[in-house]
Structure 1
């Protein structure tokens, strides 16, 4: 079997590494349109459970993740001069570094990685038995697949992906009130080189501040002034590929009716996206790669392998996708919550994936306060646990059944 992977992101590269071990695979090639070493943005976050999953299938890459990870500690919500801290920890790594580690690993196991090789049509890959589309949100190969119906839903908020040399050793959410409304950032260090600094705001505030008309330099200066206290004099930086623009976007949630079509399989952002506020993009892409390789190794035919892969990943994604939608919706409704006391607001933010916290914040906060009462607390926590675990297992299958 000859396999082509289009896109040298985490999903495509890691699948290529795993595919070299599948019996009968004779050739694995990764095609990437960008040049080797081209800028890849800022950082990505991941968690200890992902390292454990990688360890189970490829110990050398897991060791690289452990060696080069940056560990951040705690989540900090800043509002009105108050810092509310919650215990948490996770890992981060520069996108460029992660790609380099994966490219080195792929070449080590015999994968051919060809940079500056754009693939515009599936016909360009004639002769390959399997094509893996790992070419991102705007996947060209996916959009040419007749059996895959793609829905792209844009959120209401505006955001811009920036970097800074300041190290945010905690995952920080600073909220700042401007004359036109609230702006906030999702900030975390990914190593000694600096931090990711994503600025988000509502459409109304974005327009009222004139950010819809400002050029890149003016945009950076305005945001540096807005977040001056948090940045401690450090500059904000655009990604090099911005090419003279201030790339404000609405987050695009990608959903597909199927993950495969014939001998084409989707992984990573080509198959799904989840809002950046849940930090799951890299994890999901690597999990896609692991699942696809496992199905190819275990199933008797390619068709059965791809069918099993699509079913498994679509089901596995349900919980994360639902949480991501809830998280994105919470940030779109920040003006609804932000006038609350800082500690209450911070509590709602860290619990934003819960239905009760998002839709009925007053009720959630009242329940949370009652959890400090020993007898009541135990009962309430059991009830909340049911809403988080049992209900999704019941509602998900019913939704799929009636949707079908």
Structure 2
């Protein structure tokens, strides 16, 4: 099969790897519009479950990804001069540049052709299968937007994606109060070179602080002052042209009515986006590649394979998209929760994906969530103790009979 994959991000590269592993005779080319080694963003996050799935599909690339990842278990929330730390699930961060480097090297080793500075904006390449993995602004999808039923919903809060040489030892949330409202940042390490720092605020805070008018350098100086307590003297860095305004934007939630048209199929952000606050974008892109490669292997015809891939991924995305939607709404309604004691604020921060949270008083939801957590802990203890108690009783009965 001849495959043309348009877009050299994680989704497109990983799909090419999986298809080559399934059948080395596949003729696969990845077309990427940017030069090799150039990428946006600093680091991406993922969780243990993804690493386990990568290991199942391609142990070699999985080992390299794990080797170059940093990990954490703690989450830290700073609200003004108050702080709370919480022990959670194991999380990972890896530099986006490093991740792409690993996947590109693995793809090349398997015989995939990588064509950089080769953007496809017109008619797609001639191939049995054309994969649009060219992101939220996909040119291939846009050519047939009416067929795909593309819809884009703009979020409310402005945000900007930054880096810093400060290395956070935990997934860090920082909330700072200003004369114009609250502004906050999410920070996480991705390697010895530094951390990602995403800054967000309400529109009125953004304009009140003058961030809508500041150029990139002025904006960074202001943000460094606001987050000085957690940056410990480290600078913030952006990826913008000197003298230009900082690349603030609002999040675009993209959906499509269908994901395929003849032999053209959408993958990753070209098919769907989820709000950055749940840190799932890269994971979902890689899982798309896993599902599409499996469908192509297991289904007899291309139309059947593409239909099966879409059904499977739509079902898997439903709870994730719901969580992302509620997470974004939680931040948009931050004044509702921000003045709670830090341990309660942090508990609700961790439960921001719940559909109940916007409709219950925060204090009541906190008590319900805490009670549910204690009940689940008792259930886990009972399940753990059950077999052990049974074995103890059995041993005593045998000793008594002996």
TM-score above 0.5, yes or no: yes
Q: Any conservation in 2 of the 1:158–1:201 contact (CA below 8 Å)?
A: yes
Question: Corresponding residue for 1:171?
Answer: 171
Q: CA deviation at 1:340?
A: 1.8
Q: Any conservation in 2 of the 1:19–1:25 contact (CA below 8 Å)?
A: no
Question: Corresponding residue for 1:132?
Answer: 131
Question: Corresponding residue for 2:389?
Answer: none
Matched position secondary structure for 2:369: helix
Is the deviation greater in 235-244 or in 324-333?
235-244
- In the alignment, is residue 368 of structure 1 matched against residue 369 of structure 2? yes
Matched position secondary structure for 2:189: strand
Is the deviation greater in 217-226 or in 357-366?
357-366
Residue pairs, 1:219-234, within 5 angstroms: 219-234=219-234
Matched position secondary structure for 2:36: coil
Distance 1:32 1:366, change over 3 A: same
When the two chains are superposed, the root-mean-square deviation of aligned CA atoms in Å is 1.8
Q: CA deviation at 1:24?
A: 8.5
Residue pairs, 1:93-242, within 5 angstroms: 93-121=94-122, 123-125=123-125, 127-145=126-144, 146-240=146-240
How far apart, in 2, do the equivalents of 1:169 and 1:364 lie?
A: 30
Is the deviation greater in 195-204 or in 78-87?
78-87
How far apart, in 1, do the equivalents of 2:356 and 2:280 lie?
A: 22
Question: Corresponding residue for 1:6?
Answer: 6
Question: Corresponding residue for 1:390?
Answer: none
Task: Write out per-residue CA displacement over residues 238-264 of structure 1, whole angstroms, 9 at most, x where no aligned residue.
Answer: 025788330111011111111111111
Q: CA deviation at 1:341?
A: 1.8
How far apart, in 2, do the equivalents of 1:8 and 1:230 lie?
A: 35
Could you say which structure has the larger radius of gyration?
A: 2
How far apart, in 2, do the equivalents of 1:282 and 1:377 lie?
A: 32
Structure-2-length-normalised TM-score:
0.90
How far apart, in 1, do the equivalents of 2:289 and 2:324 lie?
A: 21
How far apart, in 2, do the equivalents of 1:117 and 1:240 lie?
A: 23
Question: Corresponding residue for 1:401?
Answer: none
Q: CA deviation at 1:228?
A: 0.7
Q: Any conservation in 2 of the 1:48–1:91 contact (CA below 8 Å)?
A: yes
Matched position secondary structure for 1:340: coil
Task: Write out per-residue CA displacement over residues 114-137 of structure 1, whole angstroms, 9 at most, x where no aligned residue.
Answer: 10001002x241x21111111001
Is the deviation greater in 22-31 or in 53-62?
22-31
Tell me the number of residue pairs that the alignment of Structure 1 and Structure 2 aligns: 376
Matched position secondary structure for 2:352: coil
Question: Corresponding residue for 1:397?
Answer: none
How far apart, in 2, do the equivalents of 1:369 and 1:305 lie?
A: 44
Unpaired runs of 5+ in structure 2? 380-402
Structure-1-length-normalised TM-score:
0.89
How far apart, in 2, do the equivalents of 1:336 and 1:373 lie?
A: 25
Residue pairs, 1:315-326, within 5 angstroms: 315-326=315-326
Q: Any conservation in 2 of the 1:157–1:332 contact (CA below 8 Å)?
A: yes
Residue pairs, 1:29-48, within 5 angstroms: 29-48=29-48
Q: CA deviation at 1:303?
A: 0.9
Question: Corresponding residue for 1:72?
Answer: 72
Q: CA deviation at 1:377?
A: 8.4
Q: CA deviation at 1:69?
A: 1.0
Q: CA deviation at 1:304?
A: 0.6
Question: Corresponding residue for 1:90?
Answer: 91
Question: Corresponding residue for 1:271?
Answer: 271
Matched position secondary structure for 1:147: helix
Task: Write out per-residue CA displacement over residues 44-65 of structure 1, whole angstroms, 9 at most, x where no aligned residue.
Answer: 0011111111111111111111
How far apart, in 1, do the equivalents of 2:246 and 2:107 lie?
A: 35
